[in-house]
Structure 1
Amino acid sequence: MAELKTVARPYAKAAFEVAREQGQVTEWASMLNILASVTSEPKLKTALQNPAFSAEEKANALAEVCAEVTSEQGKAFLLNLAENKRLLLLPAISTLFQMFKLNFEKAVDVKFTSAFELSTEQAQALAASLAKKLDRTVNLTNETDASLIGGVVIRTGDLIIDGSVRGKLAKLAEAINS
């Protein structure tokens, strides 16, 4: 997977720069997200890998399927990807673009998993605390997982804070076994 990100990064960066210059970062993020979803479909993925179709045909077909969200710049981007045989990188490009967008907006997606349902006030307090600590706007996604027994697990990008009872028991078991 690291290879895909390495190959996809220059395309995502170029798309982000174009979107930022045009003031259309949100529109491009939406377009890339939809294109990534479409290219993940098995039948379309097979068609995009078929050498019988030219790069232009592949790009035009994909742009036509997503005509409602694909701009002229987006069509040019798709053609560039098709000519370089990179259309199947769209999911990775979309993910990287989203990361660039969040960084540009000084925002971060945080996934918060707790053993029990949080009240709205608790979720807001947690988001405010994380926003202060991370110096970013926090987009909080809350989940409940009873297998945690108690406590919380917070995930954002590469940062994972495991304050769950399950996590502490796992660390204790590891310490006992070593």
Structure 2
Amino acid sequence: MPTQVSGKRYAQAIFELAKEQDQLDQWAGDLQLVFQALQDEEFNAFLKHAEVPAADKVTAIGTVLSSVHPLVQNLVHILVSGGLVDLLPQLHEAYESLLDEYRDRQRVEVTSAIPLEDRELERITTFLSGLIQKEVVATTVVDESILGGVVIRMGDRLLDGSARSRLEGLRNRLHAGVRLS
């Protein structure tokens, strides 16, 4: 748990710095690049390896992240040197949350049994935006197991309009009715 608190603290600090410099989007993009680089298992293991000299890690970071802002590179150097590589994904997520809050945005995940057409997704996001009075940024997931309809995950809220949940509800009501008779 302390790691999450630290990740949030770092995110808050760099968010304020990026806001002061009017570079919120640049930092968001750069932190996304850092996050993507860490998805490479070999690079991640290299940065975590205790026997790799810090200078080699700094050189590798400079090479892999050459396109990111120098302050983002310095942040990564500090965290890697302090053995806090695992903090970077949490920092990235916390920064994105701060940016969404600042921009009055809500990220949602829309799950459907088949890929949604653009106009269907637009109708869903327009509806949700009106409901919560925020800009809605949606990502889509295809999961055939829901059979039909959509499941919308919005933060800690879940709106389940799937055919599967409706069928399960019907089955439960039928079983309850049989038991009452």
TM-score, normalised to structure 1, is: 0.82
Show the counterpart of 2:127: 129
* Mapped pair 1:45 → 2:44: yes
Q: 1:58 to 1:131 in 2, by over 3 A?
A: same
Deviation at 1:48, TM superposition (A): 1.2
Q: Name the CA distance, whole Å, in 2 between partners of 1:117 and 1:41.
A: 28
Deviation at 1:154, TM superposition (A): 0.6
* Mapped pair 1:107 → 2:73: no
Q: 1:47 to 1:145 in 2, by over 3 A?
A: closer
Show the counterpart of 2:90: 92
Q: 1:116 to 1:46 in 2, by over 3 A?
A: closer
Deviation at 1:118, TM superposition (A): 4.4
Q: Name the CA distance, whole Å, in 1 between partners of 2:117 and 2:56.
A: 52
Q: Name the CA distance, whole Å, in 2 between partners of 1:119 and 1:61.
A: 42
* Mapped pair 1:18 → 2:17: yes
| Aligned with 1:151 (options 149, 152, 169) | 149
Deviation at 1:100, TM superposition (A): 1.2
Contact conserved, 1:110 with 1:156, CA < 8 A, in 2? Answer: yes
Q: Name the CA distance, whole Å, in 2 between partners of 1:91 and 1:144.
A: 25
Show the counterpart of 1:8: 7
5+ unaligned residues in a row in structure 1: which ranges?
none
Contact conserved, 2:48 with 2:80, CA < 8 A, in 1? Answer: no
> What is the total number of aligned residue pairs between the two structures?
175
Show the counterpart of 1:58: 57
Deviation at 1:20, TM superposition (A): 1.4
| Superimposed CA distance per residue, residues 64-121 of structure 1 (whole angstroms, 9 cap, x where no aligned partner) | 21101x2121122123213322123222211221111111111122222234554544
Q: 1:156 to 1:3 in 2, by over 3 A?
A: farther
Q: Name the CA distance, whole Å, in 2 between partners of 1:46 and 1:144.
A: 32
Show the counterpart of 1:165: 163
Q: Name the CA distance, whole Å, in 2 between partners of 1:172 and 1:19.
A: 52
Higher mean displacement: 70-79 or 46-55: 46-55
Show the counterpart of 2:179: none
Q: 1:53 to 1:116 in 2, by over 3 A?
A: closer
5+ unaligned residues in a row in structure 2: which ranges?
177-181
Contact conserved, 1:25 with 1:101, CA < 8 A, in 2? Answer: yes
Deviation at 1:55, TM superposition (A): 4.0
Q: Name the CA distance, whole Å, in 1 between partners of 2:116 and 2:73.
A: 44
Q: Name the CA distance, whole Å, in 2 between partners of 1:43 and 1:116.
A: 35
Q: 1:162 to 1:50 in 2, by over 3 A?
A: same
Contact conserved, 1:56 with 1:82, CA < 8 A, in 2? Answer: no
Show the counterpart of 2:76: 78
What secondary structure, in the 3-state scheme, does the structure 1 residue paired with 2:83 have? coil
What secondary structure, in the 3-state scheme, does the structure 2 residue paired with 1:64 have? helix
Rg: which structure is higher?
Answer: 2
